[in-house]
Amino acid sequence: MSRRPIDLSPDLLRLQNEGFDIAVREGLLLVRSVPYVDANRTVQRGTLISKLKLSADKTETPDDHVAYWTGSHPCHADGTVIGSIQNPSAPHQLTADIRADFTFSAKAAYRDYHHKMTTYIGRITGEATKIDSEASAHVYPPIPSDEESDVFKYVDTASSRAGIGAINARLAGHRVGIVGLGGSGAYVLDFVAKTKVAEIHIFDADVFSQHNAFRAPGAPTLDQLAARSPKVEYFRAIYSNMRKGIIVHDIFLDETNLQLIDRLDFVFLCMDRGEQKRAIVDRLVANKTSFVDLGMGVVLSAGRLGGIVRVTTSTPETREKAAPHISFSDNDGEANEYATNIQIPELNAVNAAFAVIRWKKVFGLYQDIREDFFSGYSIPSGEIVTEGLL
């Protein structure tokens, strides 16, 4: 089955986004799992078929009103045949593996294939809903990807439904690094995994322990915790369910292995180790690689939690102004306000969300009128403070 006509044709894409189970095979459009009433007044499911008029794999206006059907003949709720679409044509084989049991004829000037198929489905399924009010052809089936080049193992219907596929494609082919898979780094991975980047390199030498379960996305089992898997392997197993290109590095980055970040297009720094972090930052700056530094300082005061969540964006254009905001908490006294290690999942998620939004701004997915290189969210006041070039 080729997905190309669906991806290129607004009418077919609309059918898919509305939850119809569609497929294109050998010039035919199939809408499967369409509820109908049989002669015994039982709700069954059949397949509605139409020949497609295509030009360069994109649909044109339908040039006939005929449709085909696999299943017994649809009936009214009382069990009598729906005569308005009935056609005397005999069953015939449309392709080697697609058989039409009936031919339908409902003459109309169909605007496109969405109009044509939903018109037929309305007549057929409308009778089924009189018997079963929940009968619907909107089944939202999982749709596997059939493109070898697609990073996702199933189709990104969220982007197509929102009409932002072309915008999200701006990240296609990128190589991204995530250094540190603690609370914030794990949420960064969760967000980045749902983009079209080609490679996600994850760096961490720790094991996934019980405390990690309470500050990272997801819900591990007791058996998973008992396994004490390396963090990178634990998270690869999860996100490899939906995508390709997750490359693990079961190490801490330091002066001996910095070549591993040389080919990356963007890096998220989600770690605190001072000297190692300085070496990474120096290497990224030397390589002219853009990066985001994440951090938060949460403190317990008078029985309540307060503090700040911060994101610093360093690009070739913002290097000088961003540099003073980068925390090297192991030995940088000025940055000690960020050095506490209280981790709260919603703050980790906020930190990661701010960082991923900044990354997407750098590459033009979001509007950016300030080109901010620093943002800080104050927990007590709820204020967001930003510093930008504009």
Section 253-262 average pLDDT: 96
> From CA 272, how far away is CA 185, in angstroms rounded?
12
Residue 378 has pLDDT above 60, yes or no: yes
Length reported for the chain:
390
Q: Is 68 exposed, middle or buried (0-12, 13-18, 19+ CB in 10 A)?
A: buried
The answer to whether 198 and 174 are in contact (CB under 8 A) is yes
The answer to whether 373 and 314 are in contact (CB under 8 A) is yes
17 Cα distance to chain centroid: 15
Section 298-321 average pLDDT: 94
Query: In 3D, which of 341, 362, 357 has the Cα closest to residue 298?
Result: 341
Could you write out the three-class secondary structure of 168-211?
A: HHHHCCCEEEEECCCHHHHHHHHHHCCCCCCEEEEECCCECCHH
Q: How does pLDDT run across 229-247, given as a tens digit for each residue? A: 999 999 999 999 999 999 9
Q: How does pLDDT run across 263-284, given as a tens digit for each residue? A: 999 999 999 777 899 999 999 9
Section 352-358 average pLDDT: 97
Section 359-383 average pLDDT: 96
pTM of the predicted model, to two decimals? Answer: 0.89
Q: How does pLDDT run across 112-144, given as a tens digit for each residue? A: 999 999 999 999 999 999 999 999 999 999 999
Q: Any idea of the CA torsion for 169, 170, 173, 178, to the nearest 10 degrees?
A: -110
pLDDT at 126: 97
List b or e across 168-199, with b for residues whose CB sees 16 or more CB atoms inside 10 angstroms: beebeebbbbbbbbbbbbbbbbbbbbbbbbeb
Q: How does pLDDT run across 28-70, given as a tens digit for each residue? A: 999 999 999 999 999 999 999 999 999 999 999 999 999 999 9
pLDDT at 275: 85
CATH class of 157-388: alpha beta
Q: How does pLDDT run across 152-208, given as a tens digit for each residue? A: 999 999 998 888 989 999 999 999 999 999 889 999 999 999 999 999 999 999 999
β-bridge mates for residue 293, sequence order: 269, 312
pLDDT band for 335, please (50, 70, 90 cuts).
very low
> From CA 168, how far away is CA 199, in angstroms rounded?
15
Q: Is 138 exposed, middle or buried (0-12, 13-18, 19+ CB in 10 A)?
A: exposed
Count the helix, strand and coil residues of the chain and give each as a percent rounded to the nearest 5: 30, 25, 40
Question: Domain map of the chain by residue range?
Answer: 4-131, 157-388
pLDDT at 262: 97
Residue 1 has pLDDT above 70, yes or no: no
Mean pLDDT, the chain, as a whole number? 93
End-to-end CA distance of the chain: 50
pLDDT at 336: 40
Q: Is 167 exposed, middle or buried (0-12, 13-18, 19+ CB in 10 A)?
A: middle
pLDDT band for 330, please (50, 70, 90 cuts).
low
pLDDT at 4: 87
